[in-house]
Structure 1
Amino acid sequence: MASKSNEQIVMLPFLAHGHLIPFIALARQIHQATGFRISIASTPLNIQYLSSTFNSSSDEPENDYITLLELPFCSADNGLPPNTESTENLSLDAIGKFLSASQSLRAPFHSLVSDISAKQGHPPLCIISDVFFGWASEVANSLGTVNVTFSTGGAYGTLAYSSIWLNLPHRGRGDSDEFHLPGFPDRCRFHITQLHHFLRNADGTDSWSKFFQSQISFSMQSAGWLCNTVEEFEPAGLEWLRNFLKLPVWAIGPLLPPTVLKKDSSSLSAVASGISTRRAGKRLEISVEKCMEWLESQSPASVLYVSFGSQNSISPSQMMELATGLEESAKPFIWVIRPPVGFDKKCGDMRSKAMVIKDQLRAAVRDEGEDKGSSVRALDDLIKTLQSKRQMSSISESYD
């Protein structure tokens, strides 16, 4: 078996900032734990974005152990505007077309991994691919390596997303507006109004269904899944997801910069500013310092935070109703606004919730001798599993 420093892992994130950011964080975490080299494959514009997030001021510059590899992609050939290489600023209809177009990366990715294998004399230790790129499992199998699927979300959401696309249970609900979702206990009921209209109208023959059903099915052929969550946060969700997939699921979160979980928060504003700049890769309309200064001036447990995610929002009329409600509540609030696309709401007291969960997060990533947190133990188990598969493969080959 090759030494740790000679091992390489290839990563394939989906073409969206909400997926790219967790992948780069996972790459840092794996290297710190193992010393492995990481190669991240993506399209040219996304490679530029990833490069802009690198921290060159650390003791070990990230470009010393993370290699960014380009995959050719021409959006115009797929009926998309020129230079469209991520979901940012795309309409919902265009995102559907973009998902289908992303499958054209399969052939160049196969060639890239094949070249890596030829150059180093053996396949990479594994391919960690996004759940949206399930076809990577077949690429890995064809090249003699292992595929691990990475879901950048939590266990509960991953299970709901996977099960609902694979089963479309709302189609057979009859006259009821509620339905049971396979993988969840019978007591858990979902309501038709909780579904986005494109999912509500999915029937298995539409382009959305075809894409997600195929990619999830491919991903279920991988050696296991990684989840950006913490065992202590979602014990039930992780148990249900493991039972549904019938695969190992490693909870390796939270994939956050180490400075976020440090006990000393005296320089929180400076830390937040640096993190936000590297993560966003673009200028913010309101500076982090100004936002933090305003937050510190508010009473504890008083601020309402409203966000609909990086790709979803609500209609203009709903925005007006929400604005009226916020104004009449007389509560201080932060509202992250983007052009209407879909619907997703996350609101709550950001500061008080962060204080409640911070100790749990810190415990999960604790790495002190034998007293390791759950996420560190999960990452250790993943590496041992991959190395064991490599060793068994070598033994098998010696008898061929």
Structure 2
Amino acid sequence: MNQRNNRRLVLFPVPFQGHINPMLQLAQILHNRGFSITILHTDLNAPDPSSHPHFAFRSIGDGLGQSEVSTSDLVRLMALINARCAAPFEERLREEASSPDTPITCLIVDALFGFTRDVAERAGVRRMVLRTGGATSLRVFARFRLLRERGYLPIEECRLEDPVAEFPPLQVKDLPGINTAEPKQLDQLLSDMIEGLRDSAGVILNTFEDLEQPALSLLRQEYPIAIFPIGPFHKCSSSSSGSLLAEDQSCISWLDKQAPNSVVYVSFGSIAAVSESEYSEIALGLADSQQPFLWVVRPGSVHGSEALEKLPSCFLAALEERGKIVTWAPQQEVLAHRAVGAFWTHNGWNSTLESISEGVPMICMPCFSDQKVNARFVSDVWRVGLHLNNGLERRKIAEAIRKLLVEKEREEVRERAAQLKEKADSCLRQGGSSFRSLDGLANHILASESFVFGSNESSA
């Protein structure tokens, strides 16, 4: 660990699992570079300070009621968080900035916190942005208005298979979408995010050059600001788990008993949910595959029911012999385990990057938002996985699992996955692209005395 440099960073994550984890990982990376860390957080999904004793934690009242946080409309919830947190965030930021002993060198916020732009300007605090998704999906989100103007959005059933000429190899069905009763709120959320990026002192991305070089190159042309791809975060951070759910460690001892590359690990993240009929097809597909499986079935992962009550009897018989179900798993440890040969995933960016980093081929079942873009690139660009197109059906599920675990073509996919894993490893070594970008980020933060709020800076 580097010697303390007496510079303090304040980080503010969006209170969802897929956003908290990378922000805490980034905090650990920067702490290892000598920075002192203060984490601001909402009451909703507050992180556990005991898991990160070397960080200071400060709460921001969000004023959200139980009925508001339990909504399935994520766009509406995010709009509420932005509205309710603005005033208490400004009060807390000014309080932190007024400390004579440890002034704030830089504020790093999640890109979805659009309100922080004006607050930071009023407080005279330098603001950088963390985008927790990939560079490719960021470019798609940035062009939502153009996609609407050209008729791709809103998505029409008759055009699902049409190519999106501006973003090959995406098809219309791959464009990011979030079910919401307030589509104008989604447009505003994305508009605020992009404007917040443009006006920031720099953008930090959890990706690496060899994975998304074309998208990164275009972002640097389109946004004349400093852009720092320093990922994969989790491979250069020793941070404790930021999981909001208790991890079942018994799955590791179960994996220890399985043959190498024999298990399909199934997890659809912390938010995505499936219908009862889809849940049944997943279970029957796992049973028909005849392969060992580790399946994460968290509370709320099946719409309107307690999941285990709905499992078919034939599936329960198969479970006794070769499967294990847990409510949550230590995913990074699972993906690094020698027994895991495939990952059936919703293709959230964290999960996708963690799978790439361990060389584990993927079965792609995207649900919403950037997951659809990520899945298409996994299957068609990086070619390290199979895409479950056009719904869930037990026969297709079983075929996909067997293709990646037992059939001959698995070797080609595994070889490409191993090559991508090596690129993910090498970018973090001394002289690698993410290593150099992290050096550039640390120097950029330390050069605060030359910063003028609102000025554009070229990429490092």
State the TM-score, normalizing by the size of structure 1. 0.73
Deviations 1:50-72 (A, max 9, x none): 31432xxxxxxx42xx2111111
Q: Judging changes above 3 Å, is the alpha-carbon distance between structure 1 residues 21 and 67 closer, same or farther for their aligned structure 2 residues?
A: same
- AA of the residue aligned to 1:113: L
**Other structure's SS at 1:127 match:** strand
Deviations 1:66-110 (A, max 9, x none): 21111112212xxx438x4xxxxx4522x3332122112122111
Distance 1:259 1:387 in 2: 20
Contact 1:123 1:145 in 2 (8 A): no
**Who is 2:38 aligned against?**
39
Q: Judging changes above 3 Å, is the alpha-carbon distance between structure 1 residues 364 and 152 closer, same or farther for their aligned structure 2 residues?
A: same
Out of 172, 179, 195, the residue aligned to residue 191 of structure 1 is: 172
Question: Counting helix residues as a fraction of each chain, which structure ranks higher?
Answer: 1
**Who is 2:139 aligned against?**
159
In the alignment, structure 1 residue 13 sits paired with structure 2 residue 13:
yes
Distance 1:97 1:393 in 2: 34
Distance 2:284 2:228 in 1: 43
Residue 259 of structure 1 and its aligned partner are, at CA, apart by 8.1
Contact 1:110 1:139 in 2 (8 A): yes
Out of 73, 76, 98, the residue aligned to residue 62 of structure 2 is: 73
Summarize the alignment of residues 194-343 of structure 1 with structure 2, pairs less than 5 Å apart: 195-196=176-177, 198=179, 205=184, 207-256=185-234, 258=236, 278-280=241-243, 282-285=245-248, 287-294=250-257, 297-300=258-261, 302-338=262-298, 339-340=301-302
Summarize the alignment of residues 348-387 of structure 1 with structure 2, pairs less than 5 Å apart: 356-366=419-429, 371-387=430-446
Q: Which runs of 5+ in 1 are unaligned?
A: 55-61, 85-89, 261-273, 395-400
Summarize the alignment of residues 27-106 of structure 1 with structure 2, pairs less than 5 Å apart: 27-33=27-33, 35-44=34-43, 46-47=45-46, 49-54=47-52, 62-63=53-54, 66-76=55-65, 80-81=66-67, 84=69, 90-93=70-73, 95-103=74-82, 104-106=84-86
Contact 1:42 1:69 in 2 (8 A): yes
Distance 2:110 2:221 in 1: 20
Contact 2:60 2:88 in 1 (8 A): yes
Contact 1:165 1:212 in 2 (8 A): no
- AA of the residue aligned to 1:210: Q
Q: Judging changes above 3 Å, is the alpha-carbon distance between structure 1 residues 312 and 115 closer, same or farther for their aligned structure 2 residues?
A: same
Residue 46 of structure 1 and its aligned partner are, at CA, apart by 4.0
Distance 2:146 2:100 in 1: 38
Structure with higher RCO (Cα < 8 A, 6+ apart): 2
Residue identity over aligned pairs, in percent, reads 24
Residue 243 of structure 1 and its aligned partner are, at CA, apart by 3.3
**Who is 1:398 aligned against?**
none
Residue 172 of structure 1 and its aligned partner are, at CA, apart by 7.3
**Other structure's SS at 2:209 match:** coil
Q: Which runs of 5+ in 2 are unaligned?
A: 304-344, 348-361, 364-384, 386-403, 406-412, 454-460
**Other structure's SS at 1:279 match:** coil
Residue 40 of structure 1 and its aligned partner are, at CA, apart by 0.9
In the alignment, structure 1 residue 144 sits paired with structure 2 residue 120:
no
Residue 132 of structure 1 and its aligned partner are, at CA, apart by 1.0
Q: Judging changes above 3 Å, is the alpha-carbon distance between structure 1 residues 165 and 26 closer, same or farther for their aligned structure 2 residues?
A: farther
Deviations 1:98-137 (A, max 9, x none): 2122112122111222122222279522111101112222
Contact 1:20 1:50 in 2 (8 A): no
Q: Judging changes above 3 Å, is the alpha-carbon distance between structure 1 residues 291 and 220 closer, same or farther for their aligned structure 2 residues?
A: farther
Q: Judging changes above 3 Å, is the alpha-carbon distance between structure 1 residues 38 and 143 closer, same or farther for their aligned structure 2 residues?
A: same
CA RMSD, aligned part only?
3.5
Residue 379 of structure 1 and its aligned partner are, at CA, apart by 1.6
Residue 311 of structure 1 and its aligned partner are, at CA, apart by 0.9
Distance 2:251 2:235 in 1: 16
- AA of the residue aligned to 2:197: S
Contact 1:250 1:378 in 2 (8 A): yes
**Other structure's SS at 2:211 match:** coil
Q: Judging changes above 3 Å, is the alpha-carbon distance between structure 1 residues 27 and 173 closer, same or farther for their aligned structure 2 residues?
A: closer
**Who is 2:342 aligned against?**
none
Distance 1:11 1:166 in 2: 32
Residue 358 of structure 1 and its aligned partner are, at CA, apart by 4.2
- AA of the residue aligned to 1:376: F
Distance 1:216 1:233 in 2: 22
Residue 12 of structure 1 and its aligned partner are, at CA, apart by 0.8
Q: Judging changes above 3 Å, is the alpha-carbon distance between structure 1 residues 167 and 50 closer, same or farther for their aligned structure 2 residues?
A: farther
Contact 1:53 1:281 in 2 (8 A): no
Contact 2:18 2:270 in 1 (8 A): yes
Q: Judging changes above 3 Å, is the alpha-carbon distance between structure 1 residues 37 and 284 closer, same or farther for their aligned structure 2 residues?
A: closer
